[in-house]
Amino acid sequence: MARLYEHPYPSPELAATQRFIPLVHTRLPPDEMATRATRFRDTMERRRSVRMFSDEPVPRALIEHAVMTASTAPSGAHRQPWRFVVTSDPEVKRQIRVAAEEEERVNYLDNRMNDEWQEALAPLGTDHHKEFLEIAPWIVVLFEERYGLDTAGNRRKNYYVKESCGIAAGLFVAAIHEMGLCTLTHTPSPMRFLSEVLGRPDNERPFVMFPIGFPLEDTLVPDIERKPIEDVLIEV
């Protein structure tokens, strides 16, 4: 017998004043649950960050589906404080590359990134060259909406903005990989130039940039390993 809740949600009083609908949930057999879990884990295990993209076109509808998937993420007070700004325009991508490379040049060559940081990156072989930003068919920039605006232009507070956008970004990456595309979480610091190039308002701030496309044939990626389960799962 299911345990009874002393304080059910929603309370009768809340349900009488706010809109609620029945949860749509399909209970799966244990063997199918295990199969789905294993299949998705194996799929995501093959996910890698890609820096060598093909210029082969990618249908816009696929980008839309990934954004729609990302937008299913939970968010503080259901504010959904994310904006996915997408472009395939060659000139816009060129401007983004030029600005990103300048910031990264300062990071790598003018010591804005300290020695410890650069030592950590050394095995990956990254540098300030970001040619992929022009070659990848799509660039998607996730902006965090720091605060909302009502129809009168008054500020409306958003809650857990970074946490909400972080979850949405994870779902976006998973969706891109699941459909057979590749991406890279690129955060050239600082990223203020993205607001200028993409014409975003003051209440939005760049959170992460995703170049998206098919990998170039024979692309190489670092031979890295992920931490074993005993290093990341702790049961109390």
For 33-49, the pLDDT digits (tens) are: 999 999 999 999 999 99
pLDDT single digits (tens) 161-201 = 999 999 999 999 999 999 999 999 999 889 999 999 999 99
Token readout for 14 is: 């809340």
Res 3: pLDDT: 82
Distance (Å, rounded) from C-alpha 67 to C-alpha 206?
16
Q: Which long-range contacts (CB under 8 A, 24 or more apart) does 148-156 make?
A: 148/79, 148/81, 148/203, 149/203, 155/203
Percent of the chain whose predicted confidence (pLDDT) is above 90: 94
pLDDT single digits (tens) 37-82 = 999 999 999 999 999 999 999 999 999 999 999 999 999 999 999 9
Average pLDDT on 209-216 reads 98
Q: Model pTM?
A: 0.95
- Contact yes or no for 62/88 (Cβ under 8 A): no
Percent of the chain whose predicted confidence (pLDDT) is above 70: 100
Peptide bond into 74 cis (omega under 30): no
Q: Which long-range contacts (CB under 8 A, 24 or more apart) does 193-197 make?
A: 193/96, 193/99, 193/100, 193/103, 194/96, 194/99, 194/141, 194/143, 195/143, 197/92, 197/95, 197/96, 197/99
* 230: number of Cβ within 10 Å: 7
Distance (Å, rounded) from C-alpha 107 to C-alpha 129?
12
The CATH fold of domain 50-215: NADH Oxidase (3.40.109)
**Which sign, positive or negative, has the C-alpha torsion 110, 190, 185, 209?**
negative
Token readout for 23 is: 């949860």
Distance (Å, rounded) from C-alpha 202 to C-alpha 83?
13
